[in-house]
Structures are given as C-alpha cells and as structure tokens.
C-alpha cells in the first residue's frame, strides 16, 4: 500500500473529526454550521471512496460520492451567503443546482454499477464518466471563484482586530489556493485523459490535496466571527453575550438608545458608505457590544440593517423630490450612503417590497 493510497483514509478520518467540531461549535449560527459540516462530510465521503478504489476494496454503495461531488462549490457559496449576508440571487442558484444535480443523478444511475471497479470493460462509458467528472470540477471551481469574489466585496459592520484580520486573510488565501489546486488538477486530468494509469496517478494527487485544503478552509471559516459582518448582538458568542447582558441595565439601554437616535437624526453618519459600529460606539461612548445589543433589542435589527433602514428612508425622500427628475437613480444610491447599485436595489426591496425604479414610478403615477 503506497503513501498516496493511504492519504485519502487519513484525510477522511480527520474530516469526520472536524465535522463533529463544526456541528458542536457555538461560534456561528446553526445554518452556517450545518452547511459547513455538510461540506466537510461530503469531502470525507469522497476521500473514503477514493481510498476503497485505490486499494481495490469492494464496498456497498461504492461510487455514491459522484452524485454529490459537484455540490462542494455551491455549498460553500451558500455558506458565504449565510455568514457574510451576501445577496446571491438564491432562487436562481438553487434552481440551477437542482437541475444540474437531477441531470447528474440520472446520468450516473444509467451507468454500469461496476464501472469503477472494471473500467476496462466499459471504455466508452468510463470516458463519458470522466468527462462528467471534469465538468463537475469546473462547476466547483466556478462556485468557489464566485464565493471568493463576493467575499472580497463584503462590507464589514465592525472593524476587525489583528487576529480577525489574519483569520479573514487566511480564509481568502486558502479559497484561492483551493481554486488554483482544482484548476491544476483539471488541467492535468485533461492532459492525461487518454492514459488510464496517468489519470489514476493524478486522481491520487487530487485526493492528497483535497485531504488538506477543504479542511483548512473549513477551519478558517469557523474562526471568522459573524458579528463582524452584521454587528448584530445575537451573533455574538455565548460568553460575550453573557458579559454584555450582565452589565447593561434597562436605564442604561434607554440612555444609549436616545443618544443613538440623536446622532442618526442630527449628524446622519449613515451617509458615509464605510460607517461602522465601532465609530458609533466611540461616538456614544459605550462598548461596541452594548450599542449592538441596544439596537437589537429596541429595533430587532442588526447594526447593518439599522443603518440601511436610514439610507432607504433618505433614498425614498430623494426619489419623491424634484431632484429625482434631475439625477439618475444611481446618483441617489450614492447620495443615500450606499456604495453599489446592487446593494442599493437589494436593500431597498428588502425594506419596501419594491425596487427603487418601481417606487419612483409609483410615486410619479
């Protein structure tokens, strides 16, 4: 048994342990943990089946990992959407994933059951299976790349400390490294497409890399605080939450709330697209967690939604003013404190049920 043949087994066992850590952790919300845990378990399943194939071990259900191999990238995109609150057009992507999954399941189900153990008996079908496999790799690459690009554009509600900045940098770097690795594997696989022995060698190399990178990415992802994205008190770890609640009285909360409202009305800091919870807490003179807690308890909103609510109200006022006849909606977007048209449209519809264009047209009717 060679080293490359053994690596998948080690990777699978480590992945199972990490999955348990992910599922039992309290660092992020249940949805985020469930998605990330599923990614790790899928990875463990892929590695375990690779181990069986490389070592000629028969196993009931061998080959089932092919049915979900293409879902690693999409699941990470869904994780990024859940944690970083990134708008991704969820209905479109869910529909796309569902259709592609159904097509793959039907296609793989029609192949001979022993095709993996006896590829020489089904040369044409095996080549088609390889083509499907390479398409699945490209699909994962595309989704990971999209996740990276969207994470790059995330606007954090809280300034990161040095440790959090390092974790965030590691997360993005590891995603890029995983993308680069998958691309290299895909290219190598295509080059060796008509050479069965070379194909198997590159498959073993892939197992070695996929034993490492997804685990590191998952670990880095779990260490990034959701609170930094939303500024929402509910996203704080349990120990921080206890600390905040134990030291904030109702009278203090009322005073903080009055101060927050006065700052919002008089100074309009939300017009700054980069305005963060840290700046508001300094202005109020209270801890970052206490300010977030007050906003959450008074409005049932995260800091990001609280600030965006003011921006939407300003945008509504601008869209119903004479100025709306002189400037574009994009100009109003920036005047109201948004930093992109996409964020403006998504947030505006979230709070009003209409796009800015629909709202403006209704007001002019």
Q: Is residue 240 very low, low, confident or very high in pLDDT (cuts 50, 70, 90)?
A: low
Predicted confidence at residue 211, as pLDDT, reads 66
More confident residue, 167 or 203: 167
Distance CA 174, CA 160 (A): 19
The whole-model pTM stands at 0.81
* C-beta of residue 76 within 8 angstroms of C-beta of residue 39: yes
Which of 150-154, 181-185, 335-339 has the lowest average pLDDT?
181-185
Cα-only R_g, the chain: 25
Which of 79-83, 180-184, 230-234, 309-313 has the lowest average pLDDT?
180-184
Q: Is residue 243 very low, low, confident or very high in pLDDT (cuts 50, 70, 90)?
A: very low
* C-beta of residue 70 within 8 angstroms of C-beta of residue 100: yes
Distance CA 133, CA 1 (A): 26
For 142-210, the DSSP string reads: HHHHHHHHHHHT---SS---HHHHHHHHHHHHHHHHHHHHHHHHHHHHHHTTT-HHHHHHHHHHHHHHH
Q: Is residue 272 very low, low, confident or very high in pLDDT (cuts 50, 70, 90)?
A: very high
More confident residue, 8 or 262: 262
Measuring CA to CA, how many Å separate 11 from each of 5, 48, 168, 171, 287? 11, 8, 24, 20, 43
What structural domains does the chain harbor? Answer: 3-230 (1.20.1070), 233-364 (1.10.10.60)
pLDDT digits 0-9 by tens, 16-65: 998 898 888 877 778 888 998 998 899 888 888 888 877 888 777 777 88
**278: helix, strand or coil:** helix
Could you tell me the sign of the dihedral formed by the alpha carbons of 152, 158, 159, 164, in that order?
negative
Q: How many beta carbons lie within 10 A of that of residue 229, not counting itself?
A: 21
Distance CA 98, CA 175 (A): 24
Q: Nearest to residue 270, comparing CAs of 303, 317, 307?
A: 307
Give the pair of three-digit tokens for residue 147: 């996740």
* C-beta of residue 39 within 8 angstroms of C-beta of residue 72: yes
Confidence check: pLDDT of 83 > 70: yes
Confidence check: pLDDT of 266 > 60: yes
Predicted confidence at residue 198, as pLDDT, reads 63
Angle, CA 254 vertex, CA 250 and CA 293 arms, to 5°: 75
Confidence check: pLDDT of 11 > 80: yes
Average pLDDT, the chain: 84
């Amino acid at each position: 048994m060679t080293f490359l043949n053994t690596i998948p087994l080690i990777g699978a066992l480590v992945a199972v342990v990490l999955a348990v850590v992910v599922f039992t952790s309290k660092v992020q919300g249940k949805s985020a943990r469930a998605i990330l845990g599923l990614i790790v378990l899928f990875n463990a399943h892929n590695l375990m089946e690779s181990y069986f194939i490389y070592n000629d071990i028969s196993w009931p259900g061998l080959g089932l990992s092919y049915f979900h191999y293409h879902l690693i990238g999409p699941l990470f995109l869904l994780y990024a959407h859940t944690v970083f609150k990134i708008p991704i057009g969820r209905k479109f992507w869910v529909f796309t994933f569902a259709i592609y999954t159904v097509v793959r399941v039907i296609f793989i189900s029609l192949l001979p059951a022993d095709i993996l153990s006896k590829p020489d008996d089904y040369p044409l079908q095996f080549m088609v299976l390889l083509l499907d496999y390479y398409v699945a790799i490209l699909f994962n690459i595309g989704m990971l790349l999209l996740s990276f690009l969207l994470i790059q554009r995330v606007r954090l509600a809280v300034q990161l400390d040095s440790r959090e900045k390092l974790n965030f940098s590691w997360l993005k770097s590891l995603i890029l490294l995983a993308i680069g690795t998958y691309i290299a594997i895909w290219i190598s696989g295509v080059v060796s497409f008509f050479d069965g022995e070379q194909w198997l060698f590159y498959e073993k190399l892939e197992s070695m890399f996929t034993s490492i990178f997804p685990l590191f990415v998952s670990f880095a992802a779990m260490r990034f605080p959701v609170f930094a994205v939303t500024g929402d008190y509910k996203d704080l770890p349990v120990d921080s939450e206890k600390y905040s609640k134990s030291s904030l009285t109702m009278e203090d909360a009322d005073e903080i709330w009055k101060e927050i409202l006065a700052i919002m009305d008089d100074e309009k800091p939300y017009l700054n697209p980069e305005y963060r919870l840290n700046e508001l807490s300094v202005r109020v003179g209270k801890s970052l967690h206490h300010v977030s807690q007050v906003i959450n308890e008074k409005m049932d909103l995260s800091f990001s939604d609280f600030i965006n609510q003011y921006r939407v109200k300003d945008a509504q006022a601008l869209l119903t003013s004479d100025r709306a006849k002189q400037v574009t909606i994009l100009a109003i977007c920036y005047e109201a404190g948004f930093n992109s048209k996409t964020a403006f449209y998504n947030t505006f519809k979230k709070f009003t049920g209409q796009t800015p264009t629909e709202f403006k047209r209704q007001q002019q009717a």
